[in-house]
Amino acid sequence: MKFIIIILLTLNINLIFAYKMKKESINSGGQISTNTSYELNGSVSQLAVGISSNGTNEIRSGFWYSGTTTAESDTETDLDGDADNVPTEIENAAPNSGDGNNDGTQDSQQANIASLLMSTGKYITIEALDCPSLINVTEQRNINLTDWYFPHGVVKFEVPCSIAEIKLYYHGVADLTAYTYRKLRHNNTWFSYPNPHYSTETINGNTVATVTINLIDGQIEDYDGTTNGTIIDPGGPAFPITNTSIPTLNWKWVLTLIILIPILFYKKRA
């Protein structure tokens, strides 16, 4: 009988102690603060830590359900902060530590500048000099032309302006003056853009070829050919492919040589 009483008293003491612990602390002794968050070990504040699946602060198996934490309030990684369709990670890896046009600010933080990694393995930086933003910047691929070659690729972008002056920086290219700037128009035919301004700049000790073009909404240089407040521009520097004929020998001369060579060789040995 005494043994049973001792067991019951022990159980009651444990239940009282557990109840007190349930109300005043969680897991590793963190105290319930006045702002309904729990301070773990007096240092890390974490909202709703220790709430179990039934909504109470029960200390059982040690498995805890947490709600919104201070860490979760941090902003997520910015995938495309300037909304130009080029991921921030790609722009930040551009030459000059992500500042392709060398203006002192990373291109990923400027809506009117984009640095795009082309399939050639080189970067092109596009800068809208008089328009506040660039959108839908991408590389125009699958260009099946037999008469023109684009060794540096074709870049496509949009500017929400009626008039735009665009400057393109071709990193890893020292000179473009021998090229013709070709553009794609709304009927999917290519034409040579008149009077592009070719130049070079020294960026971080490297010579970078540039080309500046002026675009007008709805005109021939606007891909959609419609005056709608947005200019779409696919284009790039190219050079013509010439189909030069491979010289061939007249068969009569070939037969003559076949006959003469053994004769000359025989006379030489004799």
CA distance 105 to 75: 21
172 and 59 both lie in a single domain: no
Residue 256 located in a structural domain: no
- How many domains are contained in the chain? 2
Residue 254 located in a structural domain: no
What number is the average pLDDT over the span 13-19?
45
Q: Are 176 and 209 in contact (CB under 8 A)?
A: yes
Query: What is the pLDDT at residue 207?
Result: 97
116 and 230 both lie in a single domain: yes
Domain boundary among 73, 105, 126: 73
Residue 13 located in a structural domain: yes
Helix (H, G, I), strand (E, B), or coil: what is residue 155? Answer: strand
pLDDT tens column, 42-87: 433 333 333 333 444 433 333 332 333 333 333 334 688 889 999 9
Residue 266 located in a structural domain: no
119 and 172 both lie in a single domain: yes
160 and 200 both lie in a single domain: yes
Closest to 159 measured CA to CA, from 130, 185, 125: 130
Q: pTM surpassing 0.85?
A: no
Residue 30 located in a structural domain: yes
Residue 133 located in a structural domain: yes
Containing structural domain, residue 66: 2-73
138 and 231 both lie in a single domain: yes
Domain boundary among 20, 41, 73: 73
Which of 19-23, 176-180, 190-194, 215-219 is least confident? 19-23
Residue 38 located in a structural domain: yes
Q: What does the DSSP assignment read for 128-152? A: ESSSS--EEEEEE-----SSEE-TT
Query: What is the pLDDT at residue 15?
Result: 44
Residue 263 located in a structural domain: no
Domain boundary among 73, 106, 135: 73
pLDDT tens column, 169-201: 999 999 999 999 999 988 889 999 999 999 999
Please report where in the chains the tokens 């919104």 appear, as a residue.
68
Q: What is the percent of the chain where pLDDT is above 70? A: 63
96 and 62 both lie in a single domain: no
